C-alpha cells in the first residue's frame, strides 16, 4: 500500500494497523494517541506517572533510557563526535548526522502544505503540528500558549518559578535552530 519498509515484522504490523487501518490507542489523560498499546503504556509512565531513568552521577532524570545513555556519554564520559568533512564537534550522534545531512549533503525536508523547508525532519513535524494542525500547549496559571511543549516549560520556569527536568540537548537544538535560523555549530559553541 506504500513504500514503507520495516526491520521486523512487528514494526510492519504496527505501521499497517496505525497508518492503513487507522488503529490508534488514545491516552485517557491527554490528547496523545499511540500506534501500539506498549507505546501508550510507555507514554503514560513517562508523561503522567513520572517514571523516569535517573542518572547515578547527578540529578538528571531522563524520560527515555536512550536519552540517559547519551547524557552519561556526553556529560560524564566526555564522548564527542567529530565531522570528517569539517571542524564540527558535538556530544550527540544525532546532531552529527543532522549536521552532515544539512551542511554537506544538502538534504532538505519540505512541507507539503506551504513553502517551509528544513534540514531536520523533527523540525518539519513540529512545524506541521503547530502551523497546520493547530497544536497548542496552554499554561494552567495564565493566558500564555505555545505551539511547542518546550516553550511552555520554559515559560513556567521563568514566569511561575516551576522547576522541571532538564531537556535533552538535541530537542533544544532542533527548536533553537528553527527559531533563530542559526547554524547548529554556533549553537553547540554557545551551549558549552
Chunked in runs of 10, what are the mean pLDDT values of the chain (192 residues)? 83 80 80 80 78 85 84 90 94 88 90 91 87 86 87 89 52 32 32 34
- The pLDDT value recorded for residue 63 is 79
Q: In which region does residue 64 sit, left (phi positive, over 0), alpha (psi from -120 to 50) or beta (all else)?
A: beta
Classified as helix, coil or strand, 84 is coil
Between CA 45 and CA 67 the distance in angstroms is 16
Between CA 57 and CA 69 the distance in angstroms is 12
- The pLDDT value recorded for residue 182 is 31
Between CA 102 and CA 175 the distance in angstroms is 15
Pairing of β 53-54 and β 61-62: antiparallel
Classified as helix, coil or strand, 118 is strand
- The pLDDT value recorded for residue 11 is 81
Classified as helix, coil or strand, 109 is strand
Between CA 169 and CA 98 the distance in angstroms is 13
- The pLDDT value recorded for residue 192 is 34
- The pLDDT value recorded for residue 19 is 78
- The pLDDT value recorded for residue 129 is 85
Amino acid at each position: 500500500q506504500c513504500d514503507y519498509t520495516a526491520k521486523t515484522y512487528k514494526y510492519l504490523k504496527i505501521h499497517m494497523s496505525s497508518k492503513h487501518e487507522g488503529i490508534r490507542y488514545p491516552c485517557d489523560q491527554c490528547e496523545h494517541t499511540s500506534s501500539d498499546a506498549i507505546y501508550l503504556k510507555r507514554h503514560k509512565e513517562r508523561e503522567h506517572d513520572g517514571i523516569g531513568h535517573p542518572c547515578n552521577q547527578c540529578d538528571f532524570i531522563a524520560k527515555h533510557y536512550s536519552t540517559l545513555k547519551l547524557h552519561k556519554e556526553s556529560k560524564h564520559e566526555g564522548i564527542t563526535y567529530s565531522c570528517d568533512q569539517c571542524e564540527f564537534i558535538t556530544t550527540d550522534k544525532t546532531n552529527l548526522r543532522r549536521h552532515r545531512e544539512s551542511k554537506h549533503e544538502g538534504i532538505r525536508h519540505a512541507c507539503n502544505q506551504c513553502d517551509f523547508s528544513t534540514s531536520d525532519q523533527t523540525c518539519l513535524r513540529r512545524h506541521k503540528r503547530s502551523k497546520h494542525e493547530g497544536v497548542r500547549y496552554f499554561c494552567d496559571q495564565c493566558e500564555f500558549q505555545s505551539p511547542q511543549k518546550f516553550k511552555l516549560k520554559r515559560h513556567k520556569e521563568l514566569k511561575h518559578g516551576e522547576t522541571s527536568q532538564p531537556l535533552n540537548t538535541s530537542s533544544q537544538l532542533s527548536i533553537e535552530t528553527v527559531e533563530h535560523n542559526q547554524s547548529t555549530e554556533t549553537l553547540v559553541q554557545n551551549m558549552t
